[in-house]
A = this chain, B = another copy of it.
Amino acid sequence: MKFIHTSDWHLGRQLHGESLLEQQRIALAQIAALAVEHQVDALIIAGDIYDRAIPPASAVTLLSEFLDELIGKHQIQVLITSGNHDSAERLGFAAKQMRSSGLHMVGSLSLPLTPIKLHGKQSDAWFYPISYAEPAVVRHALADDTIHSHELAMQALLEQVTQHDSENLPKVVVAHCFLDGSSESESERPLSVGGADRISPALFAPFDYVALGHLHGPQYRGVEHVRYSGSPLKYSFSEATQKKSITLVELSADAAPSIELLPINTGRDVRIIEGNLADLLLQAKDDPHADDYLMVRLSDTHALLDPMGKLRSAYPNVLHLERTGLMAQQQTGDIGRDRIKKGELEMFSDFFDQVAGQPLSAAQQQHLHSLLDDLHQGEDV
């Protein structure tokens, strides 16, 4: 049994207001090509296939076309569980009518768990899809009042996996959850506040492979076969340094599964660049990837006129600007996003406040105002 483990496609997602659909289309084409190249038996998507409960129709069409390609054209089975971003009910529509074609859509968590035996060219394996569910849902479904945390809920669900007779075939758990000690990114929506969503990785260790979704960075916890594939695309600048991939898994009867990360590159990266405006504008000329999605950290310590406009003329996909130079005096160089949006007048007022220790007087504000007006009138553009 050879399969690809992936998750968190978030089809329909935007990055700072920019549609990522074309990037997602490229990523899906790569995933399909890799699945064919490696002759996998199945593709497993561990939740958050869409970015929200009601995805745009274009995202629905994209997924539908992908499934036609993989299942219809290449006879590769697909198993999709729903994550915390998905609408489990909508994802589960007509699931029974799709099953015989090799498409396994697992919507709302229904208990007892329904294991799925997938047929492989070399050998078969049992898959245990566990769609994302709140602990209260599991507590109610199992009529067990002691289930008051994500960990206890998962423990109860995994008990069913343990009890199931797999006829000595490997057991693969597919789940969407947060393992204690994992690395987060900014683009994940917390499952619960205050750390109540943490689950001990040790719970999953007994199974042959655990295909996890929710976290966007690829990683394993405790043992190598309990792992997050991560998302195929970067969905926030906090993921700028991550290497995105899908996970190729081959189960073995006697040994640990063989695991390989297959990189995904859409050609347009998500990066952070730093420097002063003049240098960055110069560098753009020699940057073959100037059209990457960029966050720019400007080190200039003085006010600048329309830095975003100037940057975008050189880097068309600057999505976010941080004026780190203006904030150097502060304890932290981490500038709130809303601060960046302010106009020159407000920005200078801020700056003055920081260096002078007191706000601009009304007369000073007036003076600044006319000064800025003069400057704008003197602009060529």
Interface of A toward B, CB cutoff 8 Å: 53-54, 57-58, 60-61, 63-64, 67-68, 71-72, 87, 89-90, 92-103, 105
Contact = CB atoms under 8 A, between A and B. Distances in A.
A97 B68 CA distance: 8
A109 B90 CA distance: 22
Nearest to A102: B97
Contacts of A103: 94, 97
A94 B64 CA distance: 5
Contacts of A67: 94, 96-97
A70 to B, nearest CB: 10
A165 to B, nearest CB: 25
Contacts of A87: 57
Contacts of A95: 64
Contact of A61 (B53, B68, B71, B89): B89
Contacts of A63: 93
Q: Give me the 4 closest cross-chain CB pairs, A-B, nearest first.
A: A57-B89, A97-B101, A97-B103, A97-B98
A209 to B, nearest CB: 25
Given A64-B95, A101-B101, 10 more contacts: A57-B90, A61-B92, A64-B92, A67-B94, A72-B96, A72-B97, A94-B98, A97-B98, A97-B103, A98-B101
| Interface residues of chain A: helix, strand, loop or mixed (majority) | helix
A124 B365 CA distance: 84
Nearest to A105: B94
A94 B49 CA distance: 14
Contacts of A99: 101
A100 B98 CA distance: 8
Contacts of A89: 57-58, 60-61
A340 B64 CA distance: 48
A171 to B, nearest CB: 26
27 contacts: A54-B54, A57-B87, A57-B90, A58-B89, A60-B93, A61-B92, A61-B93, A63-B93, A64-B94, A64-B95, A67-B94, A67-B97, A68-B97, A71-B96, A71-B97, A72-B96, A94-B94, A94-B103, A96-B101, A97-B98, A97-B101, A97-B102, A98-B98, A98-B101, A99-B101, A100-B101, A101-B101
Contacts of A90: 57, 60
A338 B252 CA distance: 71
Contacts of A71: 96-97
Nearest to A104: B97
A197 to B, nearest CB: 24
A71 B96 CA distance: 9
A380 to B, nearest CB: 45
A68 B94 CA distance: 7
A144 B92 CA distance: 40
A348 to B, nearest CB: 46
Contact of A93 (B64, B72, B100): B64
Contacts of A100: 100-101
